[in-house]
A and B are shown apart, each in its own frame.
Chain A
Amino acid sequence: MPRWGMVIDVKRCIACWGCSIACKEEHFLPPNVFWNRVLIGERGKFPSSSKLILPILCNHCSDAACVEACPTGATYIREDGIVAVDDEKCVGCRACLVSCPYQQRTYYDNEVKDREYFPGQGKTELELIGEKLYPFKLGTVIKCNFCTERLEDGMKKGLEPGVDEDASPACVNICPVSARVFGDLDDPNSKINRLIMEHKGKQLRPEFGTEPAVYYID
Chain B
Amino acid sequence: MTYKTDEIWEDKWVNTTCGVCYCGCAAKVRVVNGVPVKVEGITDSTMGGDGAGLCGKGTAGLMYYHDPSRIKKPMLRTNPEKGIGVDPKWKEIEWDEALDIISTKMKKIMDDDPNKILFTNQTMRASDGPHNHPYFYAQAFGVKNNGNFIIGGGSLHCGNACHMLGGLIHGAWSIAPDWRYTKYVLKWGSSKGTGSGHSAMTNARLRADAVRRGIKEIVFDPMGNFAGGKATEWVAILPGTDTAVGLAIANYICNIHGEMDILYLKAKTNFPYLIKDDGTYARNEETDNPLIFDSREGKIKDFDDKTLAWEDCALDGEYEYKGEKVRPCFVPFKEHLKQYTIEWASEISTVPVATILQVCKDWVDNAQIGATITLEGKTYPYRPVSSVTFRGSQGHSNGIHQVAAIDLMSQLVGAEDVPGGTLGWPAIRRAYPGGNYEQTCTAGKDGVIVPSVFYSHDPWPVHAPSLPATNMGCVDVWTHCTLSHIPYVDEMEYIHEKFGMKSKPEMIFGISANFIISNSDWDTAIKNFKDCFVVQNDLWINETDQAIGDLILPDVSYLEKDCWSSEIDAFFFSGSPSHEDWYVHMQQPVAKPVGESRFFMDVYIDVANRCGVLDKFNAKLNDYYGVEDPELQIKPGEVLTWKEIGERFLKWVYGNDIEKIKKQGYATWNKPIEDVYWRWDIDTRCPVYMEYLLHDRARMEEIFEETDFDVEGLGFDLDQYSPLPSWFWPESHKDLDSEFDLLAFSYRDILHTNNTTFQNPYIDEVSKMCPYTFTITLNKSMADERRLKDGDIIVIETKAGVTEKGIVKTMEAQSPKVIGIAGQGGLWADGRPIAKGKGANFCKLLPSKLKYFDPVAGNMETAVAVKIYKEE
Contacts and interface: CB of A to CB of B under 8 A. Distances in A.
Interface of A: 9, 11-12, 14-22, 24-26, 28, 31-32, 34, 37-42, 44-47, 49-51, 53, 87, 117-122, 124-126, 129-130, 132-136, 145, 148-149, 165, 170, 173-179
B59 A118 contact: no
A196 B615 CA distance: 64
Contact of A21 (B56, B236, B771): B56
Contact of A14 (B1, B4, B195): B195
Contacts of B172: none
Interface in B201-216: 201, 204-205, 207-208, 211-212
B53 A174 contact: yes
Nearest to A199: B212
Contact of B59 (A126, A136, A174, A177): A174
A24 B38 CA distance: 9
Interface in B736-784: 750-751, 761-763, 765-766, 769-772, 779-781
A82 B586 CA distance: 39
Given A14-B195, A42-B811, A20 B52 contact: no
B32 interface: yes
A37 B55 CA distance: 14
Contacts of B779: 46
B187 to A, nearest CB: 13
Interface residues of B, number: 74
Contacts of A12: 208, 211-212
Enumerate the 3 nearest inter-chain pairs by beta-carbon distance, A residue then B residue, closest first.
A51-B229, A17-B56, A176-B53
Given A21-B60, A177-B51, 13 more contacts: A14-B195, A16-B195, A18-B58, A20-B766, A21-B56, A21-B763, A25-B62, A38-B766, A42-B813, A50-B813, A51-B229, A174-B41, A174-B54
Interface centre among B48, B53, B765, by most A CB within 10 Å? B53
A126 B39 CA distance: 12
Contacts of A17: 55-56, 750-751, 766, 769-770
B812 A45 contact: yes
A37 B769 contact: yes
A42 B195 contact: no
A11 B37 contact: no
B4 A135 contact: yes
Nearest to B227: A14
B37 A25 contact: yes
Contact of B68 (A47, A118, A130): A118
B69 A132 contact: no
Contacts of B57: 16
B766 A21 contact: yes
Contacts of A179: 208
A176 B816 contact: no
A154 B205 CA distance: 26
Given A14-B204, A18-B54, A40-B770, A149 B37 contact: no
B50 interface: yes
B35 interface: yes
A133 B37 contact: yes
Contact of B234 (A34, A50, A87, A118): A50
Given A14-B750, A17-B56, A21-B766, A178 B50 contact: yes
Given A17-B56, A42-B812, A46-B779, A11 B212 contact: yes
Nearest to B7: A132
A5 B35 CA distance: 33
A124 B594 CA distance: 13
A170 B38 CA distance: 10
B81 to A, nearest CB: 28
B346 to A, nearest CB: 13
21 contacts: A17-B56, A17-B751, A18-B54, A18-B58, A24-B762, A25-B39, A25-B59, A45-B812, A50-B224, A117-B63, A126-B35, A126-B36, A129-B32, A132-B4, A134-B3, A149-B3, A170-B40, A173-B53, A174-B53, A177-B51, A178-B49
B194 interface: yes
Nearest to A118: B68
Contacts of B763: 21
Interface string B478-510: 000000000000000000000000000000000
Contacts of B325: none
Interface in B816-834: 816, 833-834
A45 B40 CA distance: 39
Contacts of B770: 15, 17, 40
Contacts of A124: 66-68
Contacts of B194: 14
Interface string B234-277: 11100000000000000000000000000000000000000000
Nearest to B66: A124
Contact of B761 (A14, A118, A122): A118
Given A16-B750, A118-B67, A175 B35 contact: no
B225 interface: yes
Contacts of B812: 42, 44-46, 49
A50 B55 contact: no
A176 B750 CA distance: 13
Contact of B56 (A20, A119, A121, A133): A20
Contacts, number: 193
B79 interface: no
B230 interface: yes
Contacts of A122: 68
A24 to B, nearest CB: 6
A126 B1 contact: no
Contacts of B56: 16-21
A18 B769 contact: no
B37 A129 contact: yes
B41 A176 contact: yes
Contacts of B68: 118, 121-122, 124
Given A129-B32, A132-B4, A178 B205 contact: yes
Contacts of B212: 9, 11-12
A133 B32 contact: yes
B656 interface: no
Interface centre among B25, B49, B230, B234, by most A CB within 10 Å? B230
Contacts of A134: 1, 3
A16 B208 CA distance: 13
B45 interface: no
A9 B212 CA distance: 10
B641 interface: no
A133 B205 CA distance: 32
Nearest to B814: A46
Interface string B173-201: 00000000000000000000011000001
Contacts of B769: 17, 20, 34, 37-40
Nearest to A166: B43
Nearest to B51: A178
A113 B213 CA distance: 46
A164 to B, nearest CB: 9
A65 B785 CA distance: 44
B762 A40 contact: no
A38 B768 CA distance: 11
B195 A47 contact: no
Given A46-B781, A173-B41, A176-B48, A18 B55 contact: yes
A212 B37 CA distance: 31
A52 B816 CA distance: 20
A173 B40 contact: yes
B33 interface: yes
